[in-house]
């Protein structure tokens, strides 16, 4: 399984994602934002950071990069795309996912562990996970409050396209366990075809016990389809 990891000016999680891919048994290459060729990769990762400094708004400039034209075409043909944090914001700006990521309700940058309730396990990104299971994966963002109009929320819920919701360690979903004010505690969603996933938490930062959790490795292992290469 070959991953192409996008790099925009201001991206800062590309090496973490490459490390996570290697732990899962996959291979990766970096794709510069001016590239038009995805080099035959099997999955695109749009990692976290501040693409183009998040000027105008997060992801607003990155969505016009030549690379994103190739990513949109790849996704529309059924290619796998994973957007993490800033990557999720870019996917929304590019129209590959509905809704938007707004300033956190607190107007503060939040960097902390969170618990996620898995709502959609029937996905290439969550193969082997059980619906209703929980993952501990950290967030690190200032604009992570998911917002969509009522009709979009209805469609997401009716078609089981909410991948994750913020929850308590026991799986309770509610305002007390919502770190950024996202509508309905939404932490990640997929597109209608299920081949594009956007999520605000950082699974690449939860791939080894040394980091406090290895729950995030499950996403990369599911994509690779093999056993993780755990550090010795």
Measure the CA–CA gap between 123 and 195, rounded to whole angstroms: 8
In this prediction, residue 226 carries a pLDDT of 53
Query: pLDDT tens-digit profile of 78-113?
Result: 999 999 999 999 999 999 999 999 999 999 999 999
In this prediction, residue 128 carries a pLDDT of 74
| Residue boundaries of the structural domains of the chain | 2-224
In this structure, are residues 64 and 72 in contact, taking their beta carbons and an 8 Å threshold? no
- Catalytic residue selected from 14, 43, 204, 207: 204
- Catalytic residue selected from 14, 92, 202, 207: 202
Is 85 in the active site? yes
Tell me: pLDDT of 232 over 50. no
- Catalytic residue selected from 17, 85, 92, 207: 85
Which pTM does this prediction carry? Answer: 0.95
In this prediction, residue 227 carries a pLDDT of 47
Measure the CA–CA gap between 47 and 82, rounded to whole angstroms: 8
- 107 Cβ contact list (under 8 Å, min separation 6): none
Is 177 in the active site? no
Query: pLDDT tens-digit profile of 10-46?
Result: 999 999 999 999 999 999 999 999 999 999 999 999 9
In words, the CATH class of domain 2-224 is alpha beta
């Amino acid at each position: 399984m070959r991953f192409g990891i996008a790099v925009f000016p201001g991206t800062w999680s590309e090496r973490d994602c490459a490390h996570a891919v290697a732990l899962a048994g996959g291979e990766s290459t970096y794709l510069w934002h001016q590239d038009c060729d995805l080099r035959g990769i099997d999955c695109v990762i749009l990692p976290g950071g501040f693409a183009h400094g998040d000027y105008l708004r997060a992801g607003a400039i990155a969505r016009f990069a030549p690379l994103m034209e190739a990513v949109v075409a790849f996704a529309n043909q059924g290619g796998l795309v994973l957007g993490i944090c800033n990557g999720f914001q870019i996917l929304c700006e590019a129209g590959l996912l509905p809704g938007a990521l707004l300033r956190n309700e607190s107007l503060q940058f939040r960097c902390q562990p969170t618990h996620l309730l898995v709502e959609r396990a029937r996905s290439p990104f969550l193969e082997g996970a059980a619906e209703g299971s929980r993952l501990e994966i950290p967030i690190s963002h200032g604009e992570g409050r998911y917002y969509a109009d009522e009709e979009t929320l209805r469609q997401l819920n009716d078609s089981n396209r909410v991948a994750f919701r913020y929850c308590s360690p026991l799986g309770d979903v509610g305002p007390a366990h919502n770190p950024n004010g996202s509508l309905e505690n939404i932490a990640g969603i997929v597109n209608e075809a299920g081949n594009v996933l956007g999520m605000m938490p950082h699974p690449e930062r939860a791939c080894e016990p040394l980091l406090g959790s290895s729950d995030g490795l499950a996403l990369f292992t599911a994509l690779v389809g093999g056993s993780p290469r755990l550090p010795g």
